[in-house]
Structure 1
Amino acid sequence: MAKALIGYMNSDLRTPHHLIAENARLRARVQELEQLVLSLKSENDTLVAAHTELLESSIQEMQPA
């Protein structure tokens, strides 16, 4: 049980400092990429809505009067 608890502590003296720094860098990069994915999803939704609106207006123009 003690080993499991030590594994979750940031101050574990058995973990080399370069691994701690690399882990922090990777976590920051993952967070950055997650934010990018959310941004791209939002942009994609906006583009899909605009394209759908354009298609609907084109269809309306093609209908006989």
Structure 2
Amino acid sequence: MAKALLGHLGGPDPRLLSEMRRLQQRIRDLEEECLRLQAANEELAALRAKDDEIVTISVSEAEPVLS
């Protein structure tokens, strides 16, 4: 009965195993890409926060307008 559930007597299908390995590698690649993009996003957010502080400081230290 168990052999019937597997589909044949020769064990797992090599094509299926190959496809599973390929998909697992693709998942690992996508997870690494996601982590890389998250790190880049955090870096950009930190730079933007620094730029926002500079703009805020430069506006608050501006000289009064001549009338």
Structure-2 residue corresponding to 1:27? 24
CA distance in 2, matches of 1:24, 1:17: 10
Cα distance in 2 for partners of 1:33, 1:40 equals: 10
Indicate the residue corresponding to 1:17 in structure 2. Answer: 14
Gapped regions of structure 1 (runs ≥ 5): 4-12
- Partner residue in 2 for 1:45: 42
Structure 1 stretches of at least 4 aligned residues deviating more than 4 Å after TM superposition: none
| Larger-Rg structure | 2
User: Could you tell me the TM-score, scaled by structure 2's length?
Assistant: 0.74
Q: Distance in 2 between matches of 1:36 and 1:47?
A: 16
2:35 alignment partner AA: L
CA distance in 1, matches of 2:40, 2:12: 41
Q: Which residue number corresponds to residue 33 of structure 2?
A: 36
Normalising by structure 1, we get a TM-score of: 0.76
Q: How many residues align?
A: 54
* Identity among equivalent pairs (%): 26
Question: What is the RMSD of the two structures over their aligned residues, measured on CA atoms?
Answer: 1.5
Structure 2: runs of 5+ lacking an equivalent: 3-9, 63-67
AA matched with 2:36: S
Structure-2 residue corresponding to 1:8: none
